[in-house]
A and B are shown apart, each in its own frame.
Chain A
Amino acid sequence: MTQAAHVLIVDDNRTSRMVAAKALRQLGCTSAEVGSGEEALELLKRASFDLVLLDIEMPGMDGIEVLRQLRASGQRLAAPVLVISGHGGNTDVVVSAIELGATDFLSKPFDPTLFRARVMSSIENKRLRDAELDNLKQIDRLSEAAMIMESGRFHPASLYLDSVAARPDAIGRLASVFMEMAHQVYDRELSMQRNIRTLNGAGLLLLQGVLWGLIVPLSILIYRENTMTLGVTFWSNMVAGVLCCAWAVGSGKSLRVSFQEFTFLLIWAAVFGLSSIVLFEAAGHVSGIVMSIILALQGFAVFTIAAAMRIEAPSLRRFAGLGVGLIGVLALLLVREQVTGVDDWMWLLIAMLVPILYGAIDILLAVKHPPTLDTIVSSGLVLVLSALLVLPLALVQGHAFLLGASLSVSDLLVALTGVCVGFCTVLYIRLIALAGAVFASQCAYAITVAGIAWSVLLLNEALSLWTGVALLLIISGLALVGPKREAGNVEVEFRRKARSMPVPSPAE
């Protein structure tokens, strides 16, 4: 026996308790003594014993009643009970004691050999049963872990099998094999999830690039017709905002937001309004291709801010990707600057404000966008808010005009820009939620490529061979940065394979 067995002696007679205690000590057991059935029940509630020696005949609550109450309370299973009957005692009483859950009986005076045999075997059985119960508990945990896996989403740490797997027995081996397999499934599913995320992210990103890239040549076309940029900013954002709000209301969403959410939207609207003004103003002074190229700086801005704020993990590979992308942008600028496109270097610097402001919005959205706020609702509200913020400036500067009053080409272009801006804003929030701010900022590259393509198509700007080479560099940079890496603790889905049983052929 590893640890001394602890026995409870229940007998109203002091001398009898003393005999039992000394006899048990002789067998290497420790003991506690109580003089009545009531005390025994009380003590059994608080302490655990390996065996109970229970005198049947006691004044007040007798041994039979103790057994009956133990049985009723469910404590009976906790320790084996040996009932003690007087010499030549009533056999019926012993039988009913055993029927009530007693393990065996001892008659007084004790026969030394029988006493030793019954006490030791009762304790041995109890320990074996405890070990079995423990095994069953471990098996329960294993099957719970299996149920967690089967029920769907899981993380290996949430299976809580480490302590089971550490056991040196067969159950421990089973648990460690199970854990190993759970880890393999987890790793496989995680990489699959990442691939799907990358694919979805890339799709959204290209769509975003194509649409947002269109805004650059559109704003240049607008500037050719209408130089009231503050009015243009107001209308394009208002059209976009009203469109998104209508979309939100149409799909049954409420435009109601909390004060905290409103504050967040107001900050976002202010930054976005400013970026819109700069974009529409710069459109008058920088060519479509150059503007598109400048927008690619957004990736650099976001990655730098994100790395500084430790929002996403900076890695050598991601820095390299960014570097390659930037080299592409610089090459494009060098090639373009020898030709036409910029009438003033000041405007080039002002235009660079746009990607920096976009970068700030990226981070703001990634860190602060309330998850409860619907993306279409927040897009709609932020666009309307940014339009309203620009309105007083437009009025003061005399840039206010009524959209649609003259049905001019420029009005049509402003409305079209608004539609693009609305779509892009919704898409962009979704992209950040899906792939993270750094990856989302890579849409700047897609915007650049698309912007150049649109500029060639719509503005008849020329695309040189060098421009093409530089674009290739930008795209490889995008691939290197990749989508955001999770911080761990991501659950994966466990899918069971449907197995078909082979049907044995009758010939075999």
Chain B
Amino acid sequence: MKALLQQHKQYLLTGVSYVIPFIACGGILIALALAYTFQCHYVDANGGPDPTQAPVFVQDMLKIGGKAFELFPAVLAGFIAYGMAGKPGLVPGFVGGFIAAMPQTINGKTASAGFLGAIIIGLIAGHVTNLLKKMPVPKIFKPVMPIIIIPILSALPVGLIMLTLNTPIATIMVDMGHVLESLQNGSQIVLALVLGAMIAFDMGGPINKAAFFFGAAMIEQKNYAIMGACAAAICTPPLGLGLATVLSRKRWTEEQRESGLAALGMGLIGITEGAIPFAAGDPFRVIPCIMFGSMVASTIAMLGHVGDHAPHGGPIVLPVVDGRIMYIIAIVAGAFTTAVAINSVKKFTEKSSSVEGVKA
């Protein structure tokens, strides 16, 4: 059972690895186009950005980004199935995912089965394809199996299943959106704390990716607050640890001070992995401190109504962030929390342990 879950996690991560560049391209192009529209005061009656007044190039940018986003569920489902069944999985996966991307009207709101539908149908497509591959066939039919029989026999049932699931799953997505929107301060803080802790815990590993992907998927559903909270949490572990080496040089070895500078650079471009050299040598003191810092950052960002339109974190995404001041405050506060925490922890524990940072 555990091995089976492990395997399915690997399938999902395969899909995620192929879809991340699509979300990045779509998210950033859309956000830049909207930011430009807004900055130049092309606004509609409600004060929102109105791209129809913007230059043609900006409108095109919005269209191109929108198309990259529309592909998101198809690519996700396609490569989940590819991870399970190889090349033959691509057809049912892409077709099923493309159906999941179809916009529908639910209770007057436009929504799609989106990433949730894509994950489910991708897994189904993989299993269906694997079953078909096992089908015993006479030698004479072997060549037509992969180019005619399997594509049709897999895409047809998978498509039918997705068409059936489409409205129920889209309804779940709409409800989920309602729940996220209706979260009051208390539960918002809980959500932000959990996201921050997950982001920092394994510094870019599977737990971090789960939180990150939740945020990225919510961008597609036009909820930018989740990614906003993640974005602030993503960069604080490397920034905080780098800051710690600068604030209290004598507590760190020459080598650590050097990786501290590298960590600052990585933090600025939103790569949590920059914290790993520190955590690998001293996990029991470093990981709690970076989790604490990231939780502070994500909570401030969430309460400050920070929204992030790009599936990436750190100061580098500032141009496409809503609530920039609060975003900066969240990052600075999180980084200082991490830095002060790790330096104090080192101060109080160093006397007893003289072997600092060598137990790699």
Partners in one complex: no
| Interface residues, chain A, with chain B CB atoms under 8 Å away | none
